[in-house]
Structure 1
């Protein structure tokens, strides 16, 4: 088996910005992915509800990725009325794409070290690979001692290279050194509320959408 993997990139995207887009672009290249699906979260179980509606967040993602044919909006989670668990989304994707298609769940190092808190977290490895982006010179191996014994065991047994991701449909953990842009959605929302510029933090099309729909402004 040797099929290019499909990347799964979930998040609130409230709003989507260049930090998200650069991370996705780097992972697309370094993990040799065929496609990355951006999946805006509907009702996230691990964090506060997004500030704007699912429809607005999906629309902003669609605008942000319009010029990259390898990026795709997948709105299955925002259509749900119940809490969105990643394991359920991966099960749906498996049903859609088949058991042989390699899937890669994309995340940062901090999220990976908290993986044991996710719903049915050990089932994630049966459904997808996990690709962890980390700052250059700062590996997960240096921090894994802070994780649970179960997660440490999975890390030690499943660690693989990016080239290995296309050889099996799921089960691996790959690490990628990716420079991080210091951009946050929280800062963008605060800037909009304070009537400060958000230029060069996100695509112009997204900035225009925010202004046109009066998003993130004080009530």
Structure 2
């Protein structure tokens, strides 16, 4: 049985921090594979700056040198812009795709907090959250200022399914929070974020004129 982590993000563009995070989690959680899952540009809750094709191409360039990294086009192709975009359906898909393996959804502590945030109305919490938590496992990365154990203890849903294997909490140690949006801003303002991403991705951005100011 392999251990596989599903790592979803916009990857707009993929950065060295994405790669370092995936590598760190694979090492700490003893994963055999990390599947990078770019979200669709048609997601209702996200505003993509770059179309699916460019983000997919950059992702392929960014992960090509690591044999345990793979990419999945499930969200950008199979269910773009439909109700099936919810994390529950995504995890059900991967559970069926890898029936003999142990599947984990990789998320930040901020997303763990959002799933069943007691401070917001029920309708604003994650869709199908009970089925998601009851049937799947999670690797949760620390975020500055968020106490992961307190987040779990404050939510009846998370607390009731905290059986020792549902949540694998990881403190990454070194804080590296350079974001895709920071890189996009640097490009748009004429900056030079070359060494914040894989070289092949930087060259792709320059050749295709992505994120550049008009």
Q: TM-score range by the shorter chain?
A: 0.7 to 0.9
Matching residue within 182, 189, 204 for 1:187 = 182
Q: Distance in 2 between matches of 1:134 and 1:96?
A: 28
The alpha-carbon distance between structure 1 residues 143 and 91, as it changes in their structure 2 partners (threshold 3 A), is closer
Secondary structure of the residue aligned to 2:183 is helix
- What is the correspondence of 1:147-162 to structure 2 with a 5 Å cutoff? 147-151=154-158, 153-154=159-160, 157-160=161-164
Unpaired runs of 5+ residues, structure 2, are 117-124
Answering whether residue 116 of structure 2 is matched by residue 109 of structure 1, we say no
Aligned residue for 1:78, secondary structure, equals helix
The 1:144/1:93 distance shift into structure 2, 3 A limit, reads closer
Output aligned runs, 1:48-63, within 5 Å: 48-63=46-61
Q: RMSD value over aligned CA atoms?
A: 2.1
Contact 1:94/1:127 (8 A) holds in 2 = no
TM-score (norm 1): 0.84
The answer to whether 1:173 aligns with 2:167 is yes
TM-score in terms of structure 2 length: 0.86
1: CA distance between counterparts of 2:203 and 2:19? 17
Which structure 1 segments of 5+ residues have no match? 165-171
- Output aligned runs, 1:32-181, within 5 Å: 32-42=30-40, 43-46=42-45, 48-79=46-77, 80-83=79-82, 84-98=85-99, 100-116=100-116, 117-134=125-142, 139-144=147-152, 147-151=154-158, 153-154=159-160, 157-160=161-164, 172-178=166-172, 179-181=174-176
